[in-house]
């Protein structure tokens, strides 16, 4: 039963809420109009519009950019899977306890230090042009494969650190409890620590995934034609930047599902914790 | 590089130069454009009394020497100084600025008065920038290594079967695609990257403009060879033009200056000095 006073309170709150929504709407509209007027009223706007937002050039460059994006997507899926598996391995090695495992721990640490520190573009050149130049049999010569190897090397280092942070964030009491239930170290890791760790670092992982989506395009320095390179080719032909805008929008579209997925996961974690 | 070319008859070039200078359609090019004398004091350059030339970084031989446009060495550096002199600028009035490819064509304010970086003149590009009258006609050539499987290729049909590479943003890339190779053309940021790929065996042949081809095979690639020239697309030779801001007040004057350099043989002399080996490669059929 709600008292008269409480009803009044609720009505007042509702009216305040309506008022703030209205104010937010109006201020957004005013801001948008101001921004639009400023940009389109700028003396250089007609030229900027021709250079960056030419519908005809956008349409003409779309097939080439889409074909490039298909390459990006394939590289993304294959590299993404490889990175997850390898990074989990490296993270597990880094969190091993006990003096016996020192060499493996040191190796994993050295790996992370090296490949996280090395600029990706330099790594791409080293792997992409350096490796095949050795002329060893069995070394692949395809720029996409070599570029993919470089991406996996670099991102495994980042993602391994994310996983390690997750693993170390699991409270020691969880391990103690698992051990006291009779689980061995391996089962403790697999059934108790990792599930909690992965859930906690999910937002960071998805963040790295979006970064990988864009960095996949860097393999173009090795000669492969990805979406950005396809846009660059069109741009150089027409001296018009519209193809870049097309490629940029496609990449944003590609990142949106990942962002929504991250939001949904976050909400689920909150619900499990009985929060908000 | 950014453009290709054949040496056109002097008359053709004059016609183009004059077409860009609507003031006198019949008379040979003079320094008069629209009744205004194309001299230093009348030119609306970025810095009054100085002329600012733009070029990429790095720049390569034979177009520039030692990546230093200010030394007057290399074809385009020499042409720039000749143009400046023609317009009444002393050597010390010439200023150079580095402008990456994309920045050279962005729609905002330009940081240069005139840009010489092997820019090929095309109708599409004319929508974005002004071009002067052409100062060089250029051909595209195919370069490979003696050890490459492309080395025995003698015909365009044989070239279709090998992996071809080119630098992005160049008409060399257009020429590579004109060959219609069976495998996708590999596209590199620079010719340096493309050469690395050629050495690593990732591509079998590389398309560059002919003067660059001569430089690469003589100075940069051990056992590099020129297979031959790629025929021009739709029968028209490719030409380099000086790039100026769209609607630049200098365009007509620069075109006129190119015209007079061509008319008095100065352009041919510069070409002889820096690009003398051009024209010696067979045309691929």
3-class DSSP string for A75-124: HHHHHHHHHHHHHHHHHHHHCCCCHHHHHHHHHHHHHHHHHHHCCHHHHH
Q: What angle (nearest 5°) sits at the alpha carbon of residue A121, between those of residues A117 and A127? A: 90
Separation in Å, CA of A252 to nearest CA in chain B: 22
- Mark yes or no for CB contact B127/A221 under 8 Å: no
Asked whether the predicted pLDDT for residue B33 surpasses 50, the reply is yes
- Mark yes or no for CB contact A132/B201 under 8 Å: yes
DSSP classification of residue A190: I
Helices B251-263 + B75-86 axis angle, to 10? 110
The residue of chain A nearest to residue B194, with distances taken between CA atoms, is A223
- Pick from A154-168, A177-191, B67-81, B147-161: least confident: B147-161
In whole angstroms, how large is the CA radius of gyration of chain A? Answer: 26
Query: Which pLDDT belongs to residue A274?
Result: 67
- Which of B101, B173, B193 is closest, CB to CB, to A233? B173
Task: Show residues of chain A in contact with B102, CB under 8 Å.
Answer: 235, 241
Separation in Å, CA of B44 to nearest CA in chain A: 20
DSSP classification of residue A264: H
Query: Which pLDDT belongs to residue B21?
Result: 44
Domain locations in chain B as residue ranges: 34-138+240-278, 140-230
Burial class (CB in 10 A: 0-12, 13-18, 19+), A95: middle
Task: Show residues of chain B in contact with A44, CB under 8 Å.
Answer: 107-108
- Pick from B59-63, B258-262, B281-285: least confident: B281-285
Of how many residues is chain B composed? 285
Task: Give Cα A34 to chain centroid, integer Å.
Answer: 33
- Walking along chain A (276 residues) 10 residues at a time, the average pLDDT comes out as 87 92 92 90 83 89 92 94 94 87 92 93 91 81 91 95 93 92 89 90 90 90 90 87 92 87 80 67
Query: Which pLDDT belongs to residue A78?
Result: 95
Q: Return the H-helix or E-strand segment holding B157.
A: helix B156-159
Q: Which residues of B210-229 are buried (b: 16+ CB within 10 A; e: fewer)?
A: bbbbbbbbeeebeebbbbbb
Query: Which pLDDT belongs to residue B127?
Result: 85
Separation in Å, CA of B135 to nearest CA in chain A: 20
Give dist(CA A30, CA A24) in Å, integer: 10
Size of interface A-B (CB pairs under 8 A): 88
- Mark yes or no for CB contact B168/A229 under 8 Å: yes
Give dist(CA B273, CA B237) in Å, integer: 22
Burial class (CB in 10 A: 0-12, 13-18, 19+), B22: exposed
Query: Which pLDDT belongs to residue B27?
Result: 41
Q: Would B34-138+240-278 and B140-230 be classified into the same CATH topology? A: yes
**Residue B237's pLDDT band (boundaries 50, 70, 90)?**
confident
Separation in Å, CA of B94 to nearest CA in chain A: 27
Instruction: Note if the pTM is more than 0.80.
Output: no
Q: Which fold has domain B34-138+240-278?
A: D-Maltodextrin-Binding Protein; domain 2 (3.40.190)
Asked whether the predicted pLDDT for residue B165 surpasses 70, the reply is yes
Structure confidence by residue, pLDDT tens digits, B108-132 = 788 899 999 999 898 888 888 899 9
Please tell me the number of Cα atoms within 13 Å of B54 on its side-chain side. Answer: 22
- Which of B106, B127, B169 is closest, CB to CB, to A236? B169
**Residue B3's pLDDT band (boundaries 50, 70, 90)?**
very low
Query: Which pLDDT belongs to residue A174?
Result: 92
**Residue B164's pLDDT band (boundaries 50, 70, 90)?**
very high
Helix or strand or coil: residue A215?
helix
Give dist(CA B151, CA B139) in Å, integer: 20
Residues B140-230: name the CATH superfamily.
Periplasmic binding protein-like II (3.40.190.10)
Query: Which pLDDT belongs to residue A142?
Result: 87
Separation in Å, CA of A87 to nearest CA in chain B: 30
Query: Which pLDDT belongs to residue B22?
Result: 44
- Mark yes or no for CB contact B173/A235 under 8 Å: no
Higher-confidence residue of A256 and B4: namely A256
Beta-ladder partners of B138? B5, B238
Residues of B with a Cβ under 8 Å from any A Cβ are 101-102, 105-108, 122, 124-125, 127-129, 165, 168-170, 173-174, 184-189, 193-194, 196-197, 199-203, 246
| Helix, strand, coil tally for chain B in percent (to 5) | 35, 20, 45
Query: Which pLDDT belongs to residue B25?
Result: 40
Query: Which pLDDT belongs to residue B49?
Result: 87
A94 contacts A105 by C-beta, under 8 angstroms? yes
């Amino acid at each position: 039963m709600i008292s008269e006073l409480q009803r009044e309170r609720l009505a007042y709150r509702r009216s305040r809420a309506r008022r703030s929504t209205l104010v937010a709407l109006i201020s957004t509209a005013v801001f948008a109009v101001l921004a639009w007027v400023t940009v389109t009223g700028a003396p250089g706007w007609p030229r900027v519009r021709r250079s960056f937002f030419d519908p005809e050039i956008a349409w003409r460059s779309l097939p080439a950019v889409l074909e490039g994006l298909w390459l990006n997507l394939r590289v993304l899926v294959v590299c993404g899977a490889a990175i997850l598996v390898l990074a989990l391995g490296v993270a597990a090695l880094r969190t091993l306890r006990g003096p016996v495992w020192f060499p493996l721990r040191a190796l994993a640490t050295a790996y992370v230090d090296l490949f996280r520190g090395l600029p990706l573009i330099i790594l791409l050149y080293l792997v992409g042009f350096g490796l095949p130049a050795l002329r060893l049999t069995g070394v692949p010569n395809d720029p996409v494969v070599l570029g993919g190897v470089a991406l996996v090397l670099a991102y495994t280092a980042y993602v391994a650190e994310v996983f390690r942070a997750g693993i170390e964030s699991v409270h020691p009491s969880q391990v103690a409890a698992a051990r006291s239930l009779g689980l061995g170290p391996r089962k403790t890791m697999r059934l108790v620590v990792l599930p909690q760790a992965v859930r906690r670092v999910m937002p960071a992982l998805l963040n790295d995934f979006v970064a990988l989506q864009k960095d996949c395009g860097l393999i173009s320095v090795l000669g492969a034609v990805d979406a950005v390179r396809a846009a660059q080719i069109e741009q150089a032909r027409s001296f018009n930047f519209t193809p870049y805008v097309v490629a940029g929008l496609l990449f944003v579209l590609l990142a949106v599902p990942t962002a929504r997925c991250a939001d949904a996961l976050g909400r689920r974690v909150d619900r499990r914790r009985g929060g908000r | 590089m950014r453009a290709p070319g054949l040496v056109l008859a002097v008359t053709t070039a004059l016609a183009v130069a004059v077409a860009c200078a609507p003031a006198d359609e019949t008379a040979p090019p003079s320094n008069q454009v629209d009744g205004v004398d194309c001299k230093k004091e009348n030119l609306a350059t970025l810095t009054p009394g100085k002329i600012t030339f733009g070029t990429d970084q790095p720049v390569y031989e034979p177009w520039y020497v030692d990546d230093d446009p200010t030394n007057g060495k290399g074809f385009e550096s020499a042409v720039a100084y000749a143009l400046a002199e023609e317009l009444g600028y002393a050597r010390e009035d010439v200023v150079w600025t580095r402008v990456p490819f994309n920045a050279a064509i962005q729609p905002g304010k330009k940081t240069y008065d005139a840009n010489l970086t092997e820019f090929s003149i095309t109708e599409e590009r004319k929508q974005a920038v002004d071009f002067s009258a052409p100062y060089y006609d250029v051909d595209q050539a195919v370069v490979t290594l003696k050890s490459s499987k492309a080395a025995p290729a003698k015909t365009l049909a044989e070239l279709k079967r090998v992996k071809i590479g080119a630098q992005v943003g160049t008409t060399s890339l257009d020429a590579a695609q004109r060959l219609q190779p069976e495998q996708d053309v590999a596209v590199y940021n620079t010719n340096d990257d493309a050469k690395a790929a050629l050495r690593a065996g990732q591509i079998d042949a590389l398309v560059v403009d002919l003067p660059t081809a001569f430089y690469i095979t003589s100075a940069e690639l051990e056992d590099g060879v020129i297979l031959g020239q790629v025929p021009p697309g739709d029968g028209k030779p490719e030409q380099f033009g000086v790039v100026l801001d769209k609607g630049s007040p200098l365009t007509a004057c620069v075109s006129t200056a190119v015209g007079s350099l061509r008319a008095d043989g100065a352009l041919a002399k510069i070409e002889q000095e820096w690009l003398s080996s051009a024209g010696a490669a067979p045309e691929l059929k």
